[in-house]
Chains A and B, each alone.
Chain A
């Protein structure tokens, strides 16, 4: 019987396999950041162990880093300690680190791909659940806990229980104005936050094949929000073109050998998935969340659902709790929800295409009175590219704040937070209670919806701007 993409990558990394034991898998790339690594380094130190493969390990600072005044000492002493701990650990153990202020610094899941370190057919781990992002390249990439971080540092392997396979096939074509973010939010709403549990999801079908690499990363990034272990997309010409000539991509003969191998990384025609879900792309439209988990979403054109409409009592209770926390009423139009803050950034939507998309909508327009808009590039490289293209000017001219790279308001570990009761439209990945600040309320949206929402002050798509007073001025080239 044929094998799926995920099974092929798994099989190519088995170090030992024995009856009644988990497979021991080799890890090709280990990404580190300041939050989930200190206790792992401490464990190594206590056991007198070294990092086995420094050449497969890289660290960056992202979760705690401020996005303003980065040349000044970090105000929060606890954040500062955590960053200093990472710097000390990397120096002591010899790990390559890109600290705040370095040109390669940024959100760990933006940095890996842009350096060309994330490659098809590799195993990639990081103490961060959004490691699933790297699956966009046909890598088997998943988040791990701190004990596993220590395990990989010490052994470059992980003992892993087998997973099940799931295909999410997206037929047809995404309609104009519908993005990868809308697609993945719709998938999560369809299968639920536990729907992918125990599975590696492979996204496939014509609509997926047409996505750019960055859009594919947005899709795979949120696989964890469907409960999946990982998300993957088979590598193709789009993947190879993205990787070619990146700093750490293979060169010369190695490139040819790599591409030959990468071309084998496709699910065999006779392979069988444990579960299959089919989505019709043509039925999709801009999608937003209304609740407090990423599965509680609906098309922007819909109303806030009535909890009574849920047959399952625990879902009904969850919806009631969510509406209470979010301060929403059943039946209210999603488009009528007013926001205080718009956040564009994160490992989900903090790459250059995301910034271009948001800038394209807001160019020549103004952020609505009473709304603050934060634009936080995913990495310093993304920021430099955006400046080169003049996108920073587009945002600041519209009244948005152009910030330094980092995780920022996605989880508010740095000073970028919502105040209690404040409401955001956010291009990030989680709308959990308090995620963006105690008492903060989050609506997950695409970069385009974020920008349109900033202009109108309520949840909106770019199409809604056409009907509004158009203050667009001619663009000077």
Chain B
């Protein structure tokens, strides 16, 4: 996983709530068997509208998505995270994320930042008025800065450390190999097994 320390970029203000993963990446894209090449599927239905914010020329190259509440609801598809990353987004800001989407994002180095809705509103106003305004998301200082806005954010220490270091979860878990083996040794015999009978 690529480490995330701090990122500065222009923003896409997405004034929609409940953006579900079917909107982020429609199901027919899920037939791919790789982690890349999803950029054209990102918000596919909405992008047919030339006025959709992502299609505006002044948003080209933007890397910070400022979204409405309940972003990433619905399916567990990690393809939603890959699509955002393939397109070029490094971070998503919202007042509330769906749990599975959030977990998936942090495992891929896409930093999802929870901010109060008032801060999201202020960022929308700032970046709508001035599309060239840059937003800095600083994981070291746990702070979002843009124009006159400065807002702290929370992220649990362990998730933050893994992101800052770009650590692989599986590698970390395998340090506990002996503990896993010890747990397996005392599992009750009545637990289910998929072995063919």
Q: Which of A35-43, A335-343, A350-358 lines the interface with chain B?
A: A35-43
* B158 contacts partner chain A, Cβ-Cβ < 8 Å: yes
Contacting pair A157 B180 (CB below 8 A): yes
* A438 contacts partner chain B, Cβ-Cβ < 8 Å: yes
Q: Which residues of A contact B16 (CB under 8 A)?
A: 318, 321
The 8 Å CB contact of A258, one of B69, B78, B190, is B190
Query: Smallest CB-CB separation from B36: which chain A residue?
Result: A39
A-contact bits for B9-43, CB 8 A (1 contact / 0 none):
00000001110101100111011111100000000
Q: Which residues of B contact A159 (CB under 8 A)?
A: 169, 172-173
Q: In the assembly, what is the distance between CA of A343 and CA of B99, in Å? A: 29
Q: Which residues of B contact A314 (CB under 8 A)?
A: 17, 68-69
* A385 contacts partner chain B, Cβ-Cβ < 8 Å: no
Q: Which residues of B contact A55 (CB under 8 A)?
A: 193-195
**Interface size grouping (class) on chain A:** 35 or more
How many residue pairs at the A-B interface have CB separations less than 8 Å? 208
Q: Which of B158-178 contact A (CB under 8 A)?
A: 158-159, 169-170, 172-174, 176
Q: Which residues of B contact A127 (CB under 8 A)?
A: 76, 78
* A155 contacts partner chain B, Cβ-Cβ < 8 Å: yes
Contacting pair B99 A229 (CB below 8 A): yes
Contacting pair B103 A38 (CB below 8 A): no
Query: Smallest CB-CB separation from A14: which chain B residue?
Result: B183
B45, B158, B180: residue with the most chain A Cβ atoms closer than 10 Å: B180
Q: In the assembly, what is the distance between CA of A353 and CA of B30, in Å? A: 31
Q: Which residues of B contact A257 (CB under 8 A)?
A: 188-190
B-contact bits for A291-323, CB 8 A (1 contact / 0 none):
001000000000000000000001101100100
Contacting pair A432 B23 (CB below 8 A): yes
Query: Smallest CB-CB separation from A417: which chain B residue?
Result: B28
* B98 contacts partner chain A, Cβ-Cβ < 8 Å: yes
Q: Which of A114-122, A277-285, A447-455 lines the interface with chain B?
A: A114-122
Contacting pair A432 B170 (CB below 8 A): no
* A430 contacts partner chain B, Cβ-Cβ < 8 Å: yes
Once A49-B170, A318-B18 are accepted as A-B contacts, the answer to whether A57 and B158 lie under 8 Å apart by CB is no
* B129 contacts partner chain A, Cβ-Cβ < 8 Å: no
B-contact bits for A53-69, CB 8 A (1 contact / 0 none):
11111100001100000
The 8 Å CB contact of A227, one of B76, B99, B172, B174, is B99
Q: Which residues of B contact A116 (CB under 8 A)?
A: 192
Contacting pair A433 B76 (CB below 8 A): no
Q: Which residues of A contact B35 (CB under 8 A)?
A: 39
Q: In the assembly, what is the distance between CA of A128 and CA of B14, in Å? A: 26
Q: Which residues of A contact B81 (CB under 8 A)?
A: 145
Contacting pair A413 B27 (CB below 8 A): yes
* B179 contacts partner chain A, Cβ-Cβ < 8 Å: yes
Measured CB to CB, the closest approach of chain A to B96, in angstroms, equals 6
Q: In the assembly, what is the distance between CA of A455 and CA of B192, in Å? A: 43
The 8 Å CB contact of B100, one of A63, A79, A143, A155, is A143
Q: Which residues of A contact B176 (CB under 8 A)?
A: 15-16, 24, 157
* B74 contacts partner chain A, Cβ-Cβ < 8 Å: yes
Contacting pair A16 B190 (CB below 8 A): no
**Interface size grouping (class) on chain B:** 35 or more
Q: Which residues of B contact A78 (CB under 8 A)?
A: 31-32
B-contact bits for A426-464, CB 8 A (1 contact / 0 none):
000010111100100000000000000000000000000
Contacting pair B33 A82 (CB below 8 A): yes
* B49 contacts partner chain A, Cβ-Cβ < 8 Å: no
Contacting pair A413 B30 (CB below 8 A): yes
B-contact bits for A173-191, CB 8 A (1 contact / 0 none):
0000000000000000000
Q: In the assembly, what is the distance between CA of A9 and CA of B27, in Å? A: 33
Q: Which of A98-138 contact B (CB under 8 A)?
A: 116-119, 122, 127-129, 131
Q: Which of A193-201, A208-216, A465-473 lines the interface with chain B?
A: A193-201
Q: In the assembly, what is the distance between CA of A117 and CA of B197, in Å? A: 12
* A147 contacts partner chain B, Cβ-Cβ < 8 Å: yes
Once A35-B30, A81-B33 are accepted as A-B contacts, the answer to whether A145 and B103 lie under 8 Å apart by CB is yes
Measured CB to CB, the closest approach of chain B to A190, in angstroms, equals 16
- Where the two chains meet, the residues of A that have a C-beta atom closer than 8 Å to any C-beta of B are 15-16, 20-22, 24, 26, 28-29, 35-36, 38-39, 42, 47, 49, 53-58, 63-64, 76, 78-79, 81-82, 85, 96, 116-119, 122, 127-129, 131, 142-148, 150-151, 154-157, 159, 161, 193-194, 197-198, 224, 227, 229, 247-248, 250, 254-255, 257-258, 261, 293, 314-315, 317-318, 321, 411-413, 430, 432-435, 438
Q: Closest 6 A-B residue pairs measured CB to CB?
A: A145-B104, A145-B78, A38-B33, A143-B76, A258-B190, A254-B190
Can you report 21 A-B residue pairs in the complex whose CB atoms are below 8 A from each other? A22-B158, A24-B180, A55-B195, A64-B31, A118-B192, A122-B191, A127-B78, A143-B100, A145-B107, A148-B104, A151-B170, A194-B69, A197-B96, A227-B70, A229-B99, A257-B188, A257-B189, A261-B190, A318-B17, A434-B23, A434-B26
- Where the two chains meet, the residues of B that have a C-beta atom closer than 8 Å to any C-beta of A are 16-18, 20, 22-23, 26-28, 30-35, 45, 68-70, 73-79, 81, 96, 98-100, 103-104, 107-108, 156-159, 169-170, 172-174, 176, 179-180, 183-184, 187-197
